[in-house]
Structure 1
Amino acid sequence: MLRLLAAFCYRAVYKLHHALCLRPGAPLQNSKLIVVGSYRTGGAGKTPFCIWLCKHYAAQGKRVALLAHDYAFDETAMLRQIFSGTESIQVFATKNRYRLAHELDESRKFDYIVCDDGFEDSRLTGAVTLLLNWESAPTRISELWPCGKMRSLAKDHRINSSNTIPLMCHGENPDIRFVIDKVLHIATKTEWDGVSKANIACGIGDPERFCKDIQNFGIHIGQTYFFNDHCKTFSTEFEQHLQDQLQDSFIISEKDAARLPAEFIQKNVNRQIFVAFQTTKISPETLQKLP
C-alpha cells in the first residue's frame, strides 16, 4: 500500500514537472534527431542499441553525435572507450539533451543526433523515437516506480506511427536481441578458459537478465552480487568481495568495467576477473524500419 501511494505521488510530480519544465520545444533544422527510449527505469538495452545504431549510421558515411546523461557517468566512460579514435562518432554528456541537441544542430557538424534515453523529455519535438519494449505498454499506476519498473504510462506520450517505432526485445522473433558473444580477462584480454563456474558482480539496470545471458553463454553461476545502477562505490565494494573470495572467478559487465580505475585493474591483474561483452542483433525487418 505504501509503495502504491508512493507511485501516485511520483506520477503527480511527473505530470507537474512536464507541465512546468518540459513543454514541447522547437524541432531541429539540420540534423536528424533519434531518441532511443523505453518505459522501463533501466535494463531495456538502450545503450547497447545506441552503440549499434551509431555504428550503423557511421558505416553509411554519416556523422553522428551520441548524447548521454552525465548522471550515467559509467555509460559515458564506456561509450567513450568504445568510440575512441572513431572520428565520425562523438559522445557528449549533458544534463540538458534539448539544449545540447540544438547547439549541435546549429553547428551543422552532424547528420544524426542520437539520444541515449530522452523518451520522457517532451521538449524533443520532431524526434523519431525507437521504443524498446520488453512487455506491453504500462497502463496502471501500480506499474510505475516504485511499485514496478516503469517511469510513465502509455497515455503520457503522443504515440503515433510517424514519430515512434516500437521495437520488441522479447518473444520468439524479436526485433532486437542482446547476446553475450565473448568473455575476456579484464587485463590480459584472454578468452574465458572454459571453467564452468563464476561469480557475478554487476550494477546495471537488469542484473537478472545479465545472469541469464551468462548462463546462455554456457557458464554456471556461483554467487551473485548486485549493486545499484550507476553505483559510484562499485570498485571499493567489488574489491571487498575479491578479498573475501581469493580463489573464485568473477564476471562483470562492460559497464561495470568502465567504473574501475586503471590502478584497480593493475592491482588485480592476476585475479580471475572477466568482462562479458554483449552484441546487438537486429532482424532484417527492423533494418527496414530505421530512419
Structure 2
Amino acid sequence: MRFWYQAIHWWGWFLYPFSLLFAGITLVRRFVYKKALIKSTENRLPVIVVGNISVGGNGKTPFVIWLCELLIEQGYKPGIISRGYGGKSEVYPLLVDEEVTGKQAGDEPVMIFKRLGLPIVVDPRRSAAAAYLSKHCAVDIIISDDGLQHYALQRDIEIVVVDGQRRFGNGHLMPMGPLREPLSRLKEVDFIINNGQLHADEITMLLAPSRCLRVDGADALLPLNCTINACAAIGYPQRFFDTLNRQHFTIHKAIAFADHYAFSEGDFTQFEPHLPLLMTEKDAVKCTTFAQKNWWYLPIDAQLPVFFEKQLLDKIKEIR
C-alpha cells in the first residue's frame, strides 16, 4: 500500500508489464459483457452499485449505510448484496441473520446487518445474490456493496466512492498501482462521492464519529480525552487513528492489522489490559464473543449534501 501511494521507485517499473496485462484483461472483460458475448443478468428490481476503482479503504460502507437510511426514509424497502469478502460459507446464497458470523459472511455484511437490520444476501456471484434477494425477501430496490467490476450483474445506477486524501495513488493499474480500472472509467459512472475533500465534479462526503460503544453490547460511556490503545483492520487504518486524535483521545499504542483480518483473542495480548481499547465498528463484529469490558468501538456516520439526495432520488424515480 505504501508503494502504491508514494513516488514510484525505479524498480517499480518492473511491474509495468503486469499492469499492461491486467489492463488488457480488464478491457476484454468489459468488451465481452458490453457486446453481450457473455450474457449478464438483469434483475426485475432497480440495482444500485456502490463501488470504487481503487483498492481498499475508501469509505464505501458508511455511504452504503447512509444510502439505505435515505431510501427507508423515502418509503423504499432496500436490500443489500455483497460478495462477503473475508468470509466463507458452506452454502450460498447466504441470508445474513443474527446467527451468521463474520467468518461466514465477511465483516462488512454482518456490521451493516447489526446497524440496519435489512435483508442482506452474500454470494461470490452477486447476480445470484440479487436473484435470491428479489425472490425471497420483501425488497423493492437492491444495493450492491462493491461490485463495480462485477459485470455479470446489470445495474441501473453506478456510484463510485473516492478517497479524498489518497485519491488514486500513483495512477497505475494493479499490481503497479492501486487501480482496478483505468481513470477513464469514472466518466461512465452516475455519481462520484469524494470522502473528505472538496473536488470539482465530485460530491463531498463527510464522516462524523458518534459516541463510543462497548464491543460486548453493554450500555456504558467512555470519557473523552482519556488515554487508549487502538487497532484497525481496514483498508486505510491511519484514517481511523487520525479520527481518534481529532476526538481528543491520547493513543498509547496503535496497531494496524491487514484489511478484513480475522481476529482471535490472542491478538490483543500485546495491548496493556488496564487501558481502554478502541477499534472500528467493522472490527468489533468479529470480537463480540471474547470482548473485554474495556473494549470499545467508534461508529461512523456519513453526511452528504441535500442537493445530492434530490439528484439521486430523482434518478431512482426515473428508473422505476
TM-score range, shorter chain: 0.7 to 0.9
Alignment match, 1:144: 173
- Residue of 272, 275, 278 corresponding to 1:251: 278
Alignment match, 2:40: 25
Task: Please give the secondary structure, in 2, of the residue aligned with 1:99.
Answer: helix
Distance 1:138 1:216 in 2: 25
Task: Say whether the 8 Å CA contact 1:200–1:251 is kept in structure 2.
Answer: yes
Compute the displacement of 1:181 (Å): 1.9
Deviations 1:102-135 (A, max 9, x none): 3434568421100000111123334201111235
- CA RMSD in angstroms, aligned pairs only: 2.8
Compute the displacement of 1:35 (Å): 0.5
Tell me, which stretches of 5 or more residues in structure 1 are unaligned? none
Alignment match, 2:245: 215
Number of matched pairs: 274
Q: Would you say 1:165 and 2:204 are equivalent positions? A: no
Distance 1:180 1:238 in 2: 25
Deviations 1:86-114 (A, max 9, x none): xxx31111111123223434568421100
The residue type paired with residue 168 of structure 1 is N
Q: Would you say 1:102 and 2:131 are equivalent positions? A: yes
Distance 1:251 1:60 in 2: 34
Deviations 1:174-224 (A, max 9, x none): 521112121123233322212432221110111111111112222222221
Mean alpha-carbon deviation: is it higher for 166-175 or for 67-76? Answer: 166-175
CA separation of 1:193/1:126 partners in 2, compared to 1, >3 Å: closer, same or farther? closer
- Residue of 107, 113, 116 corresponding to 1:83: 116
Task: Please give the secondary structure, in 2, of the residue aligned with 1:104.
Answer: helix
CA separation of 1:76/1:144 partners in 2, compared to 1, >3 Å: closer, same or farther? same
Q: Would you say 1:113 and 2:135 are equivalent positions? A: no
CA separation of 1:99/1:147 partners in 2, compared to 1, >3 Å: closer, same or farther? same
Alignment match, 1:227: 257
Distance 1:66 1:168 in 2: 22
Task: Say whether the 8 Å CA contact 1:24–1:124 is kept in structure 2.
Answer: no
Alignment match, 2:19: 7
TM-score normalised by L of structure 1: 0.82
Distance 2:137 2:280 in 1: 35
The residue type paired with residue 287 of structure 1 is E
Distance 2:190 2:65 in 1: 19
Distance 1:224 1:137 in 2: 24
Distance 1:21 1:221 in 2: 49
Tell me, which stretches of 5 or more residues in structure 2 are unaligned? 1-11, 87-105
Distance 2:28 2:266 in 1: 38
Compute the displacement of 1:6 (Å): 4.5
Distance 2:183 2:167 in 1: 6
Distance 1:176 1:69 in 2: 24
Deviations 1:61-106 (A, max 9, x none): 211111111224111221222233xxxx311111111232234345
Q: Would you say 1:127 and 2:156 are equivalent positions? A: yes
Q: Would you say 1:66 and 2:89 are equivalent positions? A: no
Distance 1:91 1:106 in 2: 13
Question: Kindly, what percent of the aligned residue pairs are identical?
Answer: 19
Q: Would you say 1:278 and 2:300 are equivalent positions? A: yes
